[in-house]
Amino acid sequence: MFTNSNLFSFEEGTATNNGVSIYYRDYGPIDAEPILLVQGLGGQLINWPQHLIQFLIDNNFRPIVYDNRDTGLSSRIESDKFDDDKRTNTIVKSYIRYYLRLPIESEYTIDDMADDAISVLDELNIENAHILGISMGGMIAQIIASNYSERTKTFTLIASTASTPSPFNGPTRKVRKLLMERTNNPNSSVDERVNRTRRIFSEIGYQGIDLNTDEFYNDISSSIERGGKDDTGFGRQLTAILGSENRLDKVKAIKAQTLIIHGKEDPLIRVKNAYKTKKLIDNSKLIIISDMRHLIEIPVFDQFKNELLKHLNS
Q: Domain boundaries in the chain?
A: 2-313
pLDDT at 169: 66
Tell me what pLDDT residue 235 has. 86
Q: How far apart are CA 262 and CA 291, in angstroms?
A: 10
- What is the Cα–Cα distance from 287 to 100, expressed in whole angstroms? 33
Residue (of 133, 143, 163) closest to 279 by Cα position = 163
- Distance separating alpha carbons of residues 106 and 296, to the nearest angstrom: 29
Residue 41 phi/psi, 5-degree rounding, is -55, 120
Sequence-ordered strand ranges (E) for 148-290: 152-158, 257-263, 284-289
What number does CATH give the domain 2-313?
Answer: 3.40.50.1820
A 10 A CB-CB count for 30 gives 11
Return the amino acid letter for 116: D
Q: Are 200 and 175 in contact (CB under 8 A)?
A: yes
What string of pLDDT tens digits covers the 314 residues of the chain?
333 345 578 999 999 999 999 999 999 999 999 999 999 999 999 999 999 999 999 999 999 999 999 999 999 997 654 444 444 445 556 656 655 566 677 889 999 999 999 999 999 999 999 999 999 999 999 999 999 999 999 999 999 999 876 656 677 888 888 887 777 777 788 998 999 999 999 999 999 899 999 999 999 999 999 998 778 888 899 889 888 777 999 999 999 999 999 999 999 999 999 999 999 999 999 999 999 999 999 999 999 999 999 999 98
Asked whether the CA dihedral 227, 228, 233, 238 is positive or negative, the reply is positive
Rg (the chain; Cα; Å): 18
Name the DSSP class of 314.
Answer: -
Task: Specify the pLDDT at position 87.
Answer: 47
Pairwise CA distance, residues 93 & 89, whole Å? 6
Which residue, 256, 311, 313, is CA-closest to 281? 256
Handedness of CA 249, 63, 264, 193 (dihedral sign): negative
Q: What is the dihedral of CA 49, 285, 205, 162, to 10 degrees?
A: 100
* Count of Cβ atoms closer than 10 Å to residue 104 Cβ: 17
Q: How many residues does the chain have?
A: 314
As a whole number of angstroms, the distance between CA 105 and CA 239 comes to 8
Residues 199, 187, 173: CA angle, nearest 5 degrees:
35
pLDDT for position 100? 57
Distances from the Cα of 57 to the Cα of 20, 53, 153, 307, angstroms: 29, 6, 17, 16
pLDDT of residue 99: 57
Q: Parallel, antiparallel, or unpaired: how do β-strands 8-17 and 20-26 relate? A: antiparallel
